[in-house]
Amino acid sequence: DYPQLYEYDAVQEEYQCLIQEINALEKDRRELERNFNEIVNKHAKECHSYRSMMSNLNFLKWKDLKSLPFTWLEDLALPSPRDELTNVKRQTKLSSRKKSSILPKSMEKSLRHQRGVGLAILMADIDAKNALIGRCYMNRGKAISQRVMGKRPLLRVEGSTTFIRNGAQWVKYAGITGHCDSAINGNSTIHHGPSQDSSLSKGRQSLSSNAAGTTYFLKFDGEKAHHRGPLPLRLELRLSREGRDPWSLRYLSTGSSYTDDGISGDGCCYYAEFDSGECWWGTQNAHGEEDGILHEILTEMDVHRVAFGNPTSPFAKKSSWIVIGKDGSVAWRNIPQGLHDVLMERYELTRCSTPSGTIADVPHRRSPVRKGTNVGIIRADAAAPCEVSLGVAGTYFVRFMDGTVDYSLPSFAADVCEKLEAEGKVIRNVSLHSDTY
């Protein structure tokens, strides 16, 4: 026998069961919607990421590339002057891939102007300065200069500064890498393809005997690279150990090779990137000390630029650096106060160093953090940095995607920058290093 229920009670009980089922279904719906949105957002983020662009480069049209940040497009290979001379079809490609996407002439020209076509050289080391002038002016070949440019780049000298019009037209990247006390290791020219000297094979370094002083790294269009002086010791050893060709380097940044006492140490920290996109780094300074925080940052971030500097506070006495990511995020430690303040105006801090020296998540904040390691995401209404360098005695230069620049330079260098700006020129980068002017 079943218990008897009034019709009202039966309907009410059925109603309660129905409400429970509806609530359960609503909970399931919200969970499915949340999972769906996570997948969609993740897909959208991956579709608009630097790594996604590189992995899908063969399938992208130039119209798709126009909307991407310049810091991403900068890694694409543009035609070399020899390609222009032989009227090779202009196309941009990753050097490690066979297929490529065709770039229109207007976009190619825009990319060259974004990275800078003119060159102003102001260096204390006269030999290094003359060698750099030779690389960017005298060492082009008469046929290439006349047929590609119509005439040789215009060179003029004003005081201690040498200006070369179109001197950087074929230069993909130029950076000071330090100071070499000895000329034993010589002057390294890294070629791609067969060397003009039949005794040298592809990728082998040709050496001269007069490379003491300021060292620098140049990457040209056409997959050719040049480094004056020896590469960082640990990088050179790893290249040899792994049998890698140094000509495939496309970006190199190095730290100081001197200890606090001014004595040359056993090596320096470095960050190197290859044409294939592979990245190597060493975070051990001249004292032989590892920087675990920097290693963590470089591991997590798709790096666009790295600059190493001299310490400016006792908090991180032997560690000073700034890292710019492809997504506009920036991490910095113990940098000049002026640069720190400029970044704090544009960034929301997401992480900072704890007393134990590790990285910890913190709420978004705008109050200046004077010391330690800071990691920030760019504010929606601000432009991200695209070039940065750190020099001697707290000097620095930074350029943002909106074209604005900020710098603290020695008076003789600041005067040159002000002169260029007065002439209507746009300064794309100033290469500095903590070991030399």
Query: pLDDT, tens digit, for every residue of 208-254?
Result: 334 678 999 999 988 788 899 888 888 999 999 999 888 889 999 99
Smallest CA-to-CA distance from 252 within 181, 312, 234, 378 is with 234
At residue 322, the pLDDT reads 94
At residue 34, the pLDDT reads 86
- Per DSSP, the three-state class of 192 is coil
| 69 token code pair | 């940040």
Residue with tokens 């903590």: 434
At residue 250, the pLDDT reads 92
At residue 265, the pLDDT reads 53
Q: List, as one string, the DSSP characters of 322-333.
A: EEEETTS-EEEE
- Per DSSP, the three-state class of 372 is coil
Residue with tokens 């060259």: 112
- 285-293: Cβ within 8 A, 24+ apart: 285/255, 285/256, 285/318, 285/319, 286/255, 286/256, 286/257, 286/258, 286/259, 287/259, 287/318, 289/318, 291/319, 291/321, 292/357, 293/319, 293/333, 293/353, 293/357, 293/358, 293/359, 293/373
CA angle 127, 131, 132 (to 5 degrees): 120
At residue 78, the pLDDT reads 83
At residue 268, the pLDDT reads 81
Q: List, as one string, the DSSP characters of 285-335.
A: -TTS-B-HHHHHHHHHS-EEEEEE----SGGGTT--EEEEETTS-EEEES-
Q: List, as one string, the DSSP characters of 409-420.
A: --HHHHHHHHHH
* CB 236 within 8 Å of CB 181: no
Q: Which segments in the chain show pLDDT lower than 70?
A: 1-5, 40-48, 82-102, 138-153, 182-211, 258-267, 286-287, 311-318, 350-372, 380
| 189 token code pair | 């020219």
> How many other β-carbons are positioned within 10 Å of the β-carbon of residue 385?
26
Q: What percent of the chain is helix, strand and coil (3-state, nearest 5)?
A: 35, 25, 40
Strand 396-400 relative to strand 405-408, pairing: antiparallel
Tell me the C-alpha distance between 131 and 106, whole Å.
32
240 Cα distance to chain centroid: 24
Tell me the C-alpha distance between 325 and 409, whole Å.
24
Residue 146: DSSP 8-state: I
pTM of the prediction?
0.75
